[in-house]
Amino acid sequence: MKTRRSIWLAMFLVAGVLLVFGANRGGGPKTQQERIDLLTSNLACPTCSGESVFESRAVAAEAIRSEVARQVAAGLRTDDEIMGYIEQRFGGQVLLVPRADGLDALVWALPVAVAVFSLFVLFSAFAKWRGNRPPSPSNDDELIVARALDERES
Amino acid sequence: MLASTGVSGTLGRAFLLVGFIGAVFGAFAAFTGARRSDQQVIRLIPRFAVLIFAASVGAFATMEYAMITRDFSLAYVQKVGSWSTPALYNFAAVWSALEGSILMWVLVLAGYTLAVAYWVRKRMHDPIASWAMGVMFVVSAFFFLVSFFPANPFAAGAPGVLDGPGPNPLLQNHVLVMFHPPILYLGYVGVTVPFAFAIAALITGRVDEGWLVATRRWSLFAWGFLTFGIALGSWWSYEVLGWSGVWAWDPVENASLLPWITGTAYIHSVLVQERRGMLRVWNISLLVATFSLTILGTFLTRSGVLNSVHAFSESGIGSWFLAMFAVVLVVSIGLIGWRGDRLRSPGVIDSPLSREAAFLANNVLFAVFAFVVLLGTVFPLIVEALQNRQIAVGAPFFDRLSTPIGLALLTLMAIAPVLPWRKATTETLRDRLFWPAWCGLGALILSLVFGAYGLAPLLTFALGGVSAGAALRQVSLATRRQGWRGLVGRANGGMIVHLGVILIAVALGASNSFSKSQELSLVQDVEAQFAGHTFELRDVVEVRDDRSISVKALVLVDGRKIYAPAITKFTRIGMNVGTPSVRTSLTADVYLTLEPPVRQDANEARIKVFIKPMIVWLWIGTALMAVGTVLAVFPGRRRKPTEPTSAPVEVGRS
């Protein structure tokens, strides 16, 4: 039993080390196209509902896509700067990810609040159930059962 | 108005009217029959079910007839019909726009109503059966009415039209349009059945486990088709849309995902109620949520409200669905409140380390997931209503929030199957999870060897390994004990479904995180290289038919086989549609699209190449889920409820 426990411990340790190692190694350099794909999948196609520029084949999306491609090809701006530039040029509603300020922050905060709240409800339910456990039979109860069983046998 | 539509229009509307009247009378018969237990009235119920089914078949067939004969006196045929559409896509054109898809809803719903009537034919005198039939009739009446008035597919069109544009080019491009919508509707509409029984249980006050057990297969049937329909939609997106993705988190997709999430929560938590008699209110609420989300989803996606708040008043159908949604909620919540005392259950969950506690945790996660999807879908509406500005909430938002939820669900899938009911000790867990944990470690090492990186994908692979181990443990124990019967029944079939889900999670993790892409400007007969593959343009050809002009680039991949991504111009609509060409293999797909502008006479072409690792496992996982669902529907071997859970299952008893 003891050996098994140490195997478990070793397993967790190895898995932890591997995860840390894997999480920190990169996947090599991105191609230009991959940079364009990543940027455009965070930009909203202005004429569609909720589709990204990356997905959309609409004309308006095509315009933004080629602008992003131009910027990436020029190689002068970082990803963040390109996003800023596109937002400035095409207007604020071009972002597909809501910001974390003002009313828009609610879309991030509410899920967390709901998750925390439901976990709280779950834990308090368990606490309540723990307190509510049916009482164990007293000596008298057991006497009654024993008597009843005797009667049935005889 | 009727006069100018010709025979099809008049006939179709007549069928819808008959269907509506039949549904109203059916509901009336069911409700009075149930209240007074009047046998003569009750005997009428199945007849009305036959009547509305016949009416819906009549209306649908009339629409098909009008579409096939290109009856351009109808506005709907003018909108989606065309002489140049091939027969197959013309048949599917009937459900390619709003009015026709509501008509298909009517058909499927009437089919379910008849099927339920047949199923309960021998116990129609049981109030729960007749009340449930009544609810089915009421919902049917609503849809017949919607189809008769605001979404009338038989409305007269402008006079003098002799041809139309045909369906959206994207819907005449792949054979899946024949299957994806009907299968999805079988799931989407199918949740009406357990909902109807839940309402009937509330009305009759028989809120014990009887109705749950009785409708279990209906719920699984609907859930299975919903799952399969959603997966087919993803496949269609991948094969047709040309952005190489399977899920865009767009509102229409979310509308089908929402009832799937609550439905999945239900088919898990219902096990707790069957076993322990607990969570009655919760289970009924989940069914109500699932059904009302189908209505809300239809409202959100079909009323035009999501495109712009201002289009709302113009669209007739929106207010109908919103009203229906409100009625469903008010009636259900009212009934639950009214039956509150009977819904209270005496049981307690003894330990947080037990099967039932794991199901509870599962439900919390699914509830949060549903909330996230609903919030993200309607949030632009809220912002526009409050601050009159437009924002978009898209895939990156949903991806970011669903990743931790998905990982938490995978963790539960690893632990829950080895947990016993009532109470477990950490020793039990340590013993039973020993081999699954090795599977997880193996999966982690294997994925690192193959070059995976990043915390979320690596956790997905590792937890997927543990979950697969836990699922296989259950199946192998069961088959060792019971032979092939260890594969059927809910617990074992469910584990096969889990294996499918794990494959899907791993495939999504790999393809989302490790895709590669590059744009290549190919010149004829010159080889280009990307990601270890070679691409050589052989020719650019043009194919014409009477509805489209298609330009195809013939690309030799790895010197072995020619793939032909294309851009098709649908001349009538003036729309360009790209068609990707995909080389599938078990390790990675090579996904090619042709990029505009294209010229047929040129000896060069711009090609976009995506390398999508492990995508094929999405479809294999889906197939496994389907197989598992079928296995779960078969009755497995059960213990007597009075036996302790530790008792072995006797062999030779069913």
The pLDDT assigned to B250 comes to 86
Q: Which chain A residue's Cα is nearest to B595?
A: A57
Domain ranges of chain A: 2-97, 103-153
- The CA angle B584-B590-B595, to the nearest 5 degrees, is 130
Q: What gap in Å lies between CA B284 and CA B287, rounded to an integer?
A: 5
- Using the predicted structure, report yes or no on whether residue B642 has a pLDDT greater than 90: no
Please tell me the distance from the alpha carbon of residue B571 to that of residue B545, in angstroms, as a whole number. 10
Span B118-135, average pLDDT:
94
How far apart are the C-alpha atoms of B524 and B521, rounded to whole Å? 10
Question: How many domains are there within chain B?
Answer: 2
A3 in contact with B at a CB cutoff of 8 Å?
no
- Please check whether residue B535 is in contact with residue B528, taking contact to mean a CB–CB distance below 8 angstroms: yes
pLDDT band at B312 (very low <50, low <70, confident <90, very high): very low
Task: Name the band, by pLDDT with cuts 50, 70 and 90, for residue B313.
Answer: very low
% of chain A beyond a pLDDT of 70: 95
Residue B640 pLDDT greater than 60, yes or no = no
Residue in chain B closest to A52 (alpha carbons) equals B394
In A107-126, the residues whose Cβ lies within 8 Å of chain B are 107, 110-111, 114-115, 118-119, 122, 125-126
The CATH H-level (homologous superfamily) assignment of domain A2-97 is: Cytochrome C biogenesis protein (1.10.8.640)
**Residue B651 pLDDT:** 43
What does the pLDDT read at residue B1? 42
Work out the average pLDDT over B120-133.
Answer: 93
HEC secondary structure over B176-209: HHHCHHHHHHHHHHHCHHHHHHHHHHHHHCCCCC
Q: Is B244 left (phi over 0), alpha (psi -120 to 50) or beta?
A: left
Across chain B, what does the average pLDDT equal?
90
Q: Do B437 and A8 touch (CB under 8 A)?
A: yes
**Does residue B143 lie within any of the structural domains?**
yes
In which band, very low, low, confident or very high, does the pLDDT at B437 lie, cut at 50, 70 and 90?
very high
Contact assignment for B517 to A33 by CB distance below 8 Å: yes
pLDDT above 90 (res B301)? no
User: Which band of pLDDT confidence, cut at 50, 70 and 90, is reported for residue B311?
Assistant: very low
Residue that wins the pLDDT comparison between B123 and A57: B123
Mean pLDDT of B98-122: 96
Of A50, A111, A115, the CB nearest to B250: A50
- Tokens at residue A70, please? 């131009």
**What's the pLDDT at B3?**
42
- Inter-chain CB pairs, A–B, below 8 Å: 156
Is the pLDDT score of B561 beyond 90? yes
pLDDT in tens, A89-118: 887 678 888 888 889 999 999 999 999 999
Which tens digit of pLDDT belongs to each residue from B214-261?
898 999 999 999 999 999 999 999 999 888 999 989 888 999 999 999
Between chains, do B393 and A49 touch, taking CB under 8 Å as contact? no
The residues in B 367-386 lying below 8 A from A, measured between CB atoms, are 367-368, 371-372, 375-376, 379-380, 382-383, 386
pLDDT at A92: 67
Q: Is the pLDDT of residue A132 over 70?
A: no
Q: Confirm whether B46 is domain-assigned.
A: yes
Which of B132, B148, B167 is at the close of a domain? B167
B355 Cβ contact partners less than 8 Å away, ≥ 6 residues apart: B416, B419, B420, B421, B422
| Residues B65, B61: Cα–Cα separation, whole Å | 6
Cβ–Cβ contact B119 with A under 8 A: no
Asked which of B167, B183, B212 is the last residue of a domain, the reply is B167
Query: If contacts are CB pairs under 8 Å, which of residues 40-69 in chain A contact chain B?
Result: 41-42, 44, 49-52, 54-55, 57
Secondary structure (3-state) at B604: strand
In-domain check, residue B119:
yes
Residue B206 has pLDDT above 60, yes or no: yes
- Of residues B327 and B545, the one with the higher pLDDT is B327
- Asked if the interface predicted TM-score (ipTM) of this complex is over 0.95, the answer is no
**B295 in Cβ contact with B324 (< 8 Å):** yes
Most distant pair of Cα atoms in chain B: their distance: 83
Q: What is the pLDDT of residue A135?
A: 62
| Residues B42, B34: Cα–Cα separation, whole Å | 7
Q: B127-148 and B6-36 helices cross at what angle (nearest 10)?
A: 160
Q: What does the DSSP assignment read for B363-392?
A: HHHHHHHHHHHHHHHHHHHHHHHHH-----
Range of the domain at B584: 516-613
What confidence tier does B637 reach under pLDDT thresholds 50, 70, 90? low
